[in-house]
Homo-oligomer: A and B are copies of this chain.
Amino acid sequence: MPQRFDLLVVGGGVIGLSVAWRAARGGLRVAVMDPAPASGASHAAAGMLAPVSEVTYTEEPLLRLGLASLDRWPSFAAELAADAGREAGDLDYRDGGTLDVAFGADDMAALEEIAAFATGLGLPARRLTGRECRRLEPMLAPSVRGGMLAERDAWVDPRKVTAALLTALERRGVTLLRTRAAALETSAGRVTGVRPATGGTVGADRVVLAAGAWSGGPGGAGAPAAIEGLPPGILPPVRPVKGQIMRLRSPEPILGRCVRGTVHGSHVYLVPRADGELVVGATQEEMGFDTRVTAGGLWELLRDARELLPGVTELELSDAVAGLRPGTPDNLPVIGPAGPPGLWLATGHHRNGVLLAPLTADLCAGDGDPGLLKICSPLRFQEHR
Protein backbone atom coordinates (compact mmCIF):
# COMPACT_ATOMS: atom_id res chain seq x y z
CA MET A 1 0.00 0.00 0.00
CA PRO A 2 1.55 3.30 -1.03
CA GLN A 3 1.44 5.85 1.76
CA ARG A 4 1.22 8.67 -0.76
CA PHE A 5 -1.86 9.26 -2.88
CA ASP A 6 -3.01 11.68 -5.53
CA LEU A 7 -6.21 12.16 -3.56
CA LEU A 8 -7.13 11.36 0.02
CA VAL A 9 -10.81 11.71 0.94
CA VAL A 10 -11.59 12.11 4.63
CA GLY A 11 -15.07 10.68 5.19
CA GLY A 12 -16.75 7.61 3.69
CA GLY A 13 -20.36 8.71 3.39
CA VAL A 14 -22.16 9.04 0.06
CA ILE A 15 -20.32 12.31 -0.68
CA GLY A 16 -16.80 11.11 0.12
CA LEU A 17 -17.28 7.79 -1.62
CA SER A 18 -18.69 9.47 -4.74
CA VAL A 19 -15.79 11.92 -4.88
CA ALA A 20 -13.32 9.04 -4.50
CA TRP A 21 -15.03 6.91 -7.14
CA ARG A 22 -15.10 9.76 -9.66
CA ALA A 23 -11.39 10.43 -9.08
CA ALA A 24 -10.46 6.75 -9.31
CA ARG A 25 -12.33 6.46 -12.61
CA GLY A 26 -10.26 9.44 -13.77
CA GLY A 27 -7.11 7.42 -13.13
CA LEU A 28 -5.98 8.91 -9.82
CA ARG A 29 -4.47 6.94 -6.96
CA VAL A 30 -7.11 7.43 -4.27
CA ALA A 31 -7.62 6.61 -0.60
CA VAL A 32 -10.64 7.06 1.68
CA MET A 33 -10.24 7.42 5.45
CA ASP A 34 -13.21 6.61 7.69
CA PRO A 35 -13.46 4.46 10.82
CA ALA A 36 -16.92 3.26 9.77
CA PRO A 37 -17.79 3.99 6.13
CA ALA A 38 -21.42 4.38 5.06
CA SER A 39 -22.70 4.31 8.64
CA GLY A 40 -23.70 7.92 9.31
CA ALA A 41 -26.20 10.22 7.64
CA SER A 42 -25.99 8.21 4.39
CA HIS A 43 -27.12 5.11 6.25
CA ALA A 44 -30.08 6.96 7.76
CA ALA A 45 -31.09 8.86 4.59
CA ALA A 46 -34.30 8.06 2.71
CA GLY A 47 -32.84 8.90 -0.70
CA MET A 48 -35.38 11.33 -2.12
CA LEU A 49 -33.97 13.09 -5.18
CA ALA A 50 -36.50 15.88 -4.99
CA PRO A 51 -35.14 19.31 -5.80
CA VAL A 52 -38.50 20.60 -6.99
CA SER A 53 -40.61 19.66 -4.02
CA GLU A 54 -37.77 20.78 -1.74
CA VAL A 55 -38.15 24.26 -3.21
CA THR A 56 -40.70 24.95 -0.51
CA TYR A 57 -38.20 25.25 2.19
CA THR A 58 -35.23 26.78 0.49
CA GLU A 59 -33.83 29.18 -2.09
CA GLU A 60 -33.23 29.23 -5.79
CA PRO A 61 -29.45 28.56 -5.72
CA LEU A 62 -30.06 25.22 -4.03
CA LEU A 63 -32.69 24.43 -6.64
CA ARG A 64 -30.09 25.06 -9.37
CA LEU A 65 -27.66 22.68 -7.66
CA GLY A 66 -30.36 20.10 -7.15
CA LEU A 67 -31.56 20.15 -10.74
CA ALA A 68 -28.01 19.94 -12.06
CA SER A 69 -27.37 16.88 -9.89
CA LEU A 70 -30.74 15.29 -10.61
CA ASP A 71 -29.85 15.40 -14.32
CA ARG A 72 -26.71 13.45 -13.54
CA TRP A 73 -28.45 10.73 -11.52
CA PRO A 74 -29.57 8.35 -14.30
CA SER A 75 -26.07 8.01 -15.76
CA PHE A 76 -24.45 8.06 -12.30
CA ALA A 77 -26.70 5.15 -11.23
CA ALA A 78 -26.12 3.20 -14.44
CA GLU A 79 -22.34 3.65 -14.42
CA LEU A 80 -22.07 2.89 -10.72
CA ALA A 81 -24.09 -0.30 -11.03
CA ALA A 82 -21.92 -1.40 -13.96
CA ASP A 83 -18.70 -0.50 -12.16
CA ALA A 84 -19.79 -2.47 -9.10
CA GLY A 85 -20.75 -5.45 -11.24
CA ARG A 86 -24.45 -5.19 -10.47
CA GLU A 87 -27.64 -5.17 -12.46
CA ALA A 88 -28.83 -1.75 -13.65
CA GLY A 89 -31.86 -1.78 -11.29
CA ASP A 90 -29.89 -2.78 -8.22
CA LEU A 91 -29.68 0.70 -6.70
CA ASP A 92 -33.48 1.00 -6.73
CA TYR A 93 -33.20 4.27 -8.67
CA ARG A 94 -36.71 5.29 -9.74
CA ASP A 95 -38.19 8.43 -11.24
CA GLY A 96 -41.92 8.38 -10.60
CA GLY A 97 -42.08 11.88 -9.11
CA THR A 98 -43.01 13.20 -5.70
CA LEU A 99 -46.61 13.71 -4.66
CA ASP A 100 -46.87 16.55 -2.15
CA VAL A 101 -50.27 16.45 -0.46
CA ALA A 102 -52.28 18.99 1.52
CA PHE A 103 -54.88 18.51 4.24
CA GLY A 104 -56.13 22.01 4.95
CA ALA A 105 -56.69 25.33 3.21
CA ASP A 106 -53.32 26.69 4.39
CA ASP A 107 -51.46 23.67 3.01
CA MET A 108 -53.34 24.04 -0.28
CA ALA A 109 -52.40 27.70 -0.55
CA ALA A 110 -48.74 26.85 0.11
CA LEU A 111 -48.81 24.17 -2.59
CA GLU A 112 -50.34 26.66 -5.04
CA GLU A 113 -47.42 28.99 -4.44
CA ILE A 114 -44.81 26.30 -4.95
CA ALA A 115 -46.53 25.07 -8.08
CA ALA A 116 -46.61 28.59 -9.52
CA PHE A 117 -42.97 29.13 -8.63
CA ALA A 118 -41.90 25.83 -10.17
CA THR A 119 -43.97 26.36 -13.30
CA GLY A 120 -42.46 29.81 -13.67
CA LEU A 121 -39.05 28.16 -13.77
CA GLY A 122 -40.25 25.77 -16.45
CA LEU A 123 -40.43 22.82 -14.07
CA PRO A 124 -43.28 20.33 -14.28
CA ALA A 125 -45.53 20.72 -11.24
CA ARG A 126 -49.05 19.49 -11.68
CA ARG A 127 -51.80 20.45 -9.22
CA LEU A 128 -54.19 17.67 -8.32
CA THR A 129 -57.53 17.39 -6.55
CA GLY A 130 -57.89 15.04 -3.59
CA ARG A 131 -59.60 12.54 -5.85
CA GLU A 132 -56.76 12.70 -8.37
CA CYS A 133 -54.25 12.16 -5.56
CA ARG A 134 -56.08 9.04 -4.41
CA ARG A 135 -56.34 7.81 -7.98
CA LEU A 136 -52.52 7.95 -8.12
CA GLU A 137 -52.08 6.56 -4.61
CA PRO A 138 -55.17 4.65 -3.46
CA MET A 139 -53.83 4.15 0.10
CA LEU A 140 -53.79 7.89 0.86
CA ALA A 141 -55.99 9.13 3.69
CA PRO A 142 -59.49 10.24 2.69
CA SER A 143 -58.77 13.59 4.36
CA VAL A 144 -56.15 14.51 1.74
CA ARG A 145 -57.66 17.54 0.04
CA GLY A 146 -55.32 18.08 -2.87
CA GLY A 147 -51.74 17.89 -3.95
CA MET A 148 -48.97 18.69 -6.35
CA LEU A 149 -47.08 16.17 -8.43
CA ALA A 150 -43.44 17.10 -9.03
CA GLU A 151 -42.97 14.81 -11.99
CA ARG A 152 -39.22 15.15 -12.40
CA ASP A 153 -38.40 14.06 -8.86
CA ALA A 154 -36.81 10.65 -8.39
CA TRP A 155 -35.49 8.51 -5.53
CA VAL A 156 -32.89 5.85 -4.81
CA ASP A 157 -31.86 3.52 -2.00
CA PRO A 158 -28.86 5.22 -0.33
CA ARG A 159 -27.76 2.01 1.41
CA LYS A 160 -27.52 0.29 -1.95
CA VAL A 161 -25.69 3.29 -3.39
CA THR A 162 -22.99 3.34 -0.69
CA ALA A 163 -22.64 -0.45 -0.83
CA ALA A 164 -22.15 -0.25 -4.61
CA LEU A 165 -19.68 2.61 -4.18
CA LEU A 166 -17.61 0.56 -1.72
CA THR A 167 -17.57 -2.36 -4.14
CA ALA A 168 -16.67 -0.15 -7.10
CA LEU A 169 -13.85 1.47 -5.10
CA GLU A 170 -12.47 -1.90 -4.15
CA ARG A 171 -12.59 -3.06 -7.77
CA ARG A 172 -10.71 0.08 -8.81
CA GLY A 173 -8.00 -0.45 -6.22
CA VAL A 174 -8.92 2.47 -3.98
CA THR A 175 -7.43 2.12 -0.49
CA LEU A 176 -9.92 2.18 2.39
CA LEU A 177 -8.28 3.29 5.64
CA ARG A 178 -10.59 2.36 8.51
CA THR A 179 -9.37 4.91 11.01
CA ARG A 180 -10.25 8.40 12.14
CA ALA A 181 -8.44 11.42 10.69
CA ALA A 182 -6.88 13.23 13.66
CA ALA A 183 -5.09 16.08 11.93
CA LEU A 184 -4.15 17.56 8.60
CA GLU A 185 -0.41 17.64 7.90
CA THR A 186 0.85 20.91 6.48
CA SER A 187 4.13 22.12 5.10
CA ALA A 188 4.78 25.80 4.32
CA GLY A 189 1.02 26.47 4.45
CA ARG A 190 0.19 23.65 2.07
CA VAL A 191 -1.82 20.61 3.14
CA THR A 192 0.33 17.55 2.41
CA GLY A 193 -1.60 14.70 4.00
CA VAL A 194 -3.47 13.41 7.00
CA ARG A 195 -2.38 12.03 10.36
CA PRO A 196 -4.65 9.14 11.31
CA ALA A 197 -5.69 8.62 14.94
CA THR A 198 -3.65 5.42 14.80
CA GLY A 199 -0.47 7.40 14.14
CA GLY A 200 1.85 7.89 11.16
CA THR A 201 1.11 10.00 8.11
CA VAL A 202 -0.77 9.40 4.89
CA GLY A 203 0.56 11.77 2.24
CA ALA A 204 -1.56 13.14 -0.59
CA ASP A 205 -1.35 15.82 -3.24
CA ARG A 206 -4.92 16.78 -2.42
CA VAL A 207 -7.08 16.14 0.62
CA VAL A 208 -10.87 16.42 0.35
CA LEU A 209 -12.59 16.86 3.69
CA ALA A 210 -15.99 15.16 3.32
CA ALA A 211 -16.73 14.24 6.91
CA GLY A 212 -20.33 15.50 6.98
CA ALA A 213 -21.40 16.85 10.36
CA TRP A 214 -17.89 16.11 11.65
CA SER A 215 -16.28 18.50 9.15
CA GLY A 216 -16.90 21.64 11.18
CA GLY A 217 -14.77 23.66 13.52
CA PRO A 218 -14.70 23.02 17.27
CA GLY A 219 -18.28 22.79 18.47
CA GLY A 220 -20.14 23.01 21.75
CA ALA A 221 -20.58 20.53 24.57
CA GLY A 222 -20.58 16.91 23.48
CA ALA A 223 -18.93 17.72 20.16
CA PRO A 224 -16.10 15.49 19.02
CA ALA A 225 -12.68 17.04 18.64
CA ALA A 226 -12.38 18.90 15.34
CA ILE A 227 -9.74 17.82 12.88
CA GLU A 228 -6.51 19.54 13.94
CA GLY A 229 -3.66 21.19 12.09
CA LEU A 230 -5.38 24.13 10.41
CA PRO A 231 -5.32 27.82 11.22
CA PRO A 232 -8.59 29.06 12.77
CA GLY A 233 -11.39 29.97 10.36
CA ILE A 234 -10.64 27.39 7.67
CA LEU A 235 -13.02 24.69 8.80
CA PRO A 236 -16.57 25.46 7.68
CA PRO A 237 -19.42 26.36 10.07
CA VAL A 238 -21.10 22.98 9.75
CA ARG A 239 -23.43 21.80 12.53
CA PRO A 240 -25.21 18.47 13.11
CA VAL A 241 -28.95 18.48 12.38
CA LYS A 242 -30.38 15.30 13.83
CA GLY A 243 -32.85 13.27 11.82
CA GLN A 244 -34.70 10.25 13.13
CA ILE A 245 -36.10 7.97 10.47
CA MET A 246 -37.82 4.61 10.43
CA ARG A 247 -38.32 1.80 8.00
CA LEU A 248 -41.46 -0.32 7.79
CA ARG A 249 -41.87 -3.60 5.98
CA SER A 250 -44.78 -4.46 3.75
CA PRO A 251 -45.30 -7.67 1.79
CA GLU A 252 -45.60 -5.47 -1.30
CA PRO A 253 -45.18 -1.74 -2.02
CA ILE A 254 -48.13 0.32 -0.82
CA LEU A 255 -47.06 3.46 -2.69
CA GLY A 256 -46.05 3.94 -6.31
CA ARG A 257 -43.97 7.07 -5.68
CA CYS A 258 -42.68 9.31 -2.89
CA VAL A 259 -45.37 11.09 -0.91
CA ARG A 260 -44.88 14.02 1.40
CA GLY A 261 -47.09 16.27 3.42
CA THR A 262 -47.34 18.59 6.38
CA VAL A 263 -49.03 17.12 9.43
CA HIS A 264 -49.55 19.18 12.60
CA GLY A 265 -46.95 21.59 11.25
CA SER A 266 -44.24 18.96 10.76
CA HIS A 267 -43.09 17.67 7.40
CA VAL A 268 -43.23 13.96 6.80
CA TYR A 269 -42.28 11.95 3.75
CA LEU A 270 -42.78 8.36 2.70
CA VAL A 271 -40.39 6.67 0.28
CA PRO A 272 -41.32 3.27 -1.18
CA ARG A 273 -38.79 0.63 -2.16
CA ALA A 274 -39.37 -2.02 -4.80
CA ASP A 275 -39.18 -4.79 -2.15
CA GLY A 276 -42.02 -3.31 -0.10
CA GLU A 277 -39.94 -1.37 2.40
CA LEU A 278 -41.42 2.01 3.26
CA VAL A 279 -39.12 4.71 4.65
CA VAL A 280 -40.73 7.30 6.93
CA GLY A 281 -38.76 10.42 7.66
CA ALA A 282 -37.60 12.47 9.26
CA THR A 283 -37.34 14.62 12.32
CA GLN A 284 -35.19 17.76 12.25
CA GLU A 285 -33.63 18.44 15.64
CA GLU A 286 -30.82 20.68 16.81
CA MET A 287 -29.43 18.36 19.48
CA GLY A 288 -25.69 18.41 18.87
CA PHE A 289 -23.95 15.08 18.34
CA ASP A 290 -26.86 12.99 19.63
CA THR A 291 -27.86 9.92 17.63
CA ARG A 292 -30.36 8.36 20.04
CA VAL A 293 -33.66 7.14 18.66
CA THR A 294 -36.16 8.62 21.10
CA ALA A 295 -39.73 7.84 22.10
CA GLY A 296 -40.74 11.35 21.06
CA GLY A 297 -39.07 11.16 17.64
CA LEU A 298 -40.65 7.82 16.79
CA TRP A 299 -44.02 8.96 18.05
CA GLU A 300 -43.95 12.00 15.78
CA LEU A 301 -43.04 9.88 12.72
CA LEU A 302 -45.72 7.32 13.49
CA ARG A 303 -48.37 9.97 14.12
CA ASP A 304 -47.64 11.79 10.87
CA ALA A 305 -47.33 8.64 8.75
CA ARG A 306 -50.69 7.39 10.06
CA GLU A 307 -52.29 10.69 9.12
CA LEU A 308 -51.00 10.48 5.54
CA LEU A 309 -51.38 6.76 5.02
CA PRO A 310 -53.61 5.04 7.62
CA GLY A 311 -52.60 1.60 6.36
CA VAL A 312 -49.10 1.92 7.81
CA THR A 313 -50.58 0.79 11.12
CA GLU A 314 -50.43 -2.82 9.96
CA LEU A 315 -46.83 -2.70 8.76
CA GLU A 316 -43.90 -4.16 10.64
CA LEU A 317 -41.22 -1.87 12.03
CA SER A 318 -37.91 -3.08 10.60
CA ASP A 319 -35.50 -0.27 11.47
CA ALA A 320 -35.26 3.02 13.35
CA VAL A 321 -32.08 5.07 13.30
CA ALA A 322 -30.90 8.62 13.70
CA GLY A 323 -28.36 10.41 11.55
CA LEU A 324 -26.68 13.80 11.67
CA ARG A 325 -27.06 16.00 8.60
CA PRO A 326 -24.31 18.55 8.08
CA GLY A 327 -26.17 21.86 8.21
CA THR A 328 -24.76 25.23 7.16
CA PRO A 329 -25.90 28.80 7.94
CA ASP A 330 -27.28 29.32 4.41
CA ASN A 331 -28.45 25.72 3.79
CA LEU A 332 -26.05 25.44 0.84
CA PRO A 333 -23.23 22.89 0.65
CA VAL A 334 -19.56 23.74 1.01
CA ILE A 335 -17.64 22.47 -1.99
CA GLY A 336 -14.32 23.67 -3.40
CA PRO A 337 -10.86 24.88 -2.45
CA ALA A 338 -10.76 25.69 1.25
CA GLY A 339 -7.94 28.25 1.16
CA PRO A 340 -4.72 26.40 1.99
CA PRO A 341 -3.33 24.77 -1.19
CA GLY A 342 -3.99 21.04 -1.31
CA LEU A 343 -7.24 21.16 0.69
CA TRP A 344 -10.77 20.94 -0.68
CA LEU A 345 -14.05 20.71 1.16
CA ALA A 346 -17.09 18.65 0.17
CA THR A 347 -19.56 18.88 3.03
CA GLY A 348 -22.53 20.82 4.39
CA HIS A 349 -25.06 19.03 2.18
CA HIS A 350 -27.70 19.03 4.93
CA ARG A 351 -30.88 17.36 3.60
CA ASN A 352 -29.47 16.90 0.09
CA GLY A 353 -26.39 14.70 0.35
CA VAL A 354 -27.73 11.84 -1.74
CA LEU A 355 -29.24 14.16 -4.36
CA LEU A 356 -26.05 16.24 -4.68
CA ALA A 357 -23.51 13.39 -4.67
CA PRO A 358 -23.07 13.14 -8.48
CA LEU A 359 -22.70 16.91 -8.88
CA THR A 360 -20.31 17.14 -5.92
CA ALA A 361 -18.13 14.39 -7.38
CA ASP A 362 -18.03 16.19 -10.73
CA LEU A 363 -17.25 19.58 -9.19
CA CYS A 364 -14.39 18.06 -7.15
CA ALA A 365 -13.06 16.53 -10.38
CA GLY A 366 -13.05 19.97 -12.03
CA ASP A 367 -15.98 19.02 -14.21
CA GLY A 368 -18.99 21.26 -13.84
CA ASP A 369 -20.41 24.75 -14.22
CA PRO A 370 -18.03 27.22 -12.51
CA GLY A 371 -21.11 29.21 -11.51
CA LEU A 372 -22.33 26.27 -9.43
CA LEU A 373 -18.93 25.85 -7.82
CA LYS A 374 -19.00 29.52 -6.89
CA ILE A 375 -22.35 29.08 -5.11
CA CYS A 376 -20.75 26.41 -2.95
CA SER A 377 -17.42 28.09 -2.27
CA PRO A 378 -16.06 27.61 1.25
CA LEU A 379 -14.61 31.10 1.05
CA ARG A 380 -18.08 32.68 1.48
CA PHE A 381 -17.88 31.95 5.18
CA GLN A 382 -14.23 32.86 5.57
CA GLU A 383 -14.89 36.31 4.05
CA HIS A 384 -17.50 36.99 6.70
CA ARG A 385 -15.06 36.46 9.52
Asked if A77 is an interface residue, CB under 8 A from chain B, the answer is no
Decide: B299 and A303 in contact? CB cutoff 8 A: yes
Min Cβ gap A161→B in Å is: 26
A305: chain B residues within 8 A (beta carbon) = 295
Decide: A317 and B302 in contact? CB cutoff 8 A: no
Also in contact, A294 and B320, with CB within 8 A (given A299-B302, A306-B299): no
Please, how many angstroms separate the alpha-carbon atoms of A41 and B154 in the complex?
A: 43
Per a CB cutoff under 8 Å, which of B294, B317, B320 touches A314?
B294
Min Cβ gap A371→B in Å is: 44
Min Cβ gap A352→B in Å is: 27
Asked if A165 is an interface residue, CB under 8 A from chain B, the answer is no
Min Cβ gap A292→B in Å is: 4
Copies of this polypeptide in the complex: 2
Min Cβ gap A214→B in Å is: 21
Asked if A84 is an interface residue, CB under 8 A from chain B, the answer is no
Min Cβ gap A84→B in Å is: 33
- A-B CB contact pairs (8 Å), 29 listed: A246-B295, A248-B295, A292-B316, A293-B316, A293-B317, A294-B313, A294-B314, A294-B317, A295-B302, A295-B305, A295-B312, A295-B313, A295-B314, A295-B315, A295-B316, A295-B317, A296-B306, A296-B313, A296-B314, A298-B298, A298-B317, A299-B299, A299-B302, A299-B303, A299-B306, A299-B313, A302-B302, A303-B303, A317-B320
A303: chain B residues within 8 A (beta carbon) = 299, 303
For A248, A298, A303, A315, the residue with the greatest tally of chain B CB atoms inside 10 Å of its CB is A298
Please, how many angstroms separate the alpha-carbon atoms of A306 and B303 in the complex?
A: 13
A317: chain B residues within 8 A (beta carbon) = 293-295, 298, 320
A299: chain B residues within 8 A (beta carbon) = 299, 302-303, 306, 313
**Nearest 3 CB-CB pairs, A to B?**
A296-B313, A299-B302, A292-B316
